[in-house]
Amino acid sequence: MGSEPEDSTGRSRTVAGQYVDISTWPTPDEGALAGDSRARYFARKTAVKMYLKHYSANAIKVDTGLSEKQAYRLIGERFTSDFDSHFKIQFNII
């Protein structure tokens, strides 16, 4: 990843008041991805990680080709309400 994040405390961002831990998100079989799908998936995954670690918009763009706004949208789109009105996250970003 690019240069050091702006927030060097190691804190992750919250989205909609929720701590976001992408390690718990379901993922595809990364080894089975190929070509454009693989490149797109890893660019998006890296952009989300960088955004959550407070990297600058420029660093996210340089490293992934995605804007900070696109990274935020990828996170926001994954929040869906379940039957218990709790939040769950889906990480199907292929």
The model scores a pTM over 0.85 = no
Whether 2 is in a domain gets the answer no
Whether 67 is in a domain gets the answer yes
What is the reported pLDDT for 91?
Answer: 47
Cα gap 87→92, rounded to integer Å: 16
Whether 21 is in a domain gets the answer yes
Give me the number of domains the chain comprises.
Answer: 1
What is the reported pLDDT for 88?
Answer: 40
* Secondary structure of residue 78 in the 3-state scheme: coil
Q: What is the mean pLDDT, run by run of 10 residues, along the chain of 94 residues?
A: 53 72 82 92 92 94 96 76 39 46
What is the reported pLDDT for 29?
Answer: 87
Whether 6 is in a domain gets the answer no
Structural domain boundaries, residue 70: 14-89
What is the reported pLDDT for 73?
Answer: 87
What is the reported pLDDT for 85?
Answer: 35
What is the reported pLDDT for 21?
Answer: 79
What is the reported pLDDT for 62?
Answer: 98
Chain centroid to CA 38: how far?
A: 15
Cα gap 34→40, rounded to integer Å: 10
According to DSSP, the β-strands at 18-19 and 14-15 are antiparallel
Which stretches within 1-94 are classed as H helix? Answer: 35-52, 57-64, 68-76
Whether 1 is in a domain gets the answer no
What is the reported pLDDT for 23?
Answer: 81
Residue type at 63 in one-letter notation: D
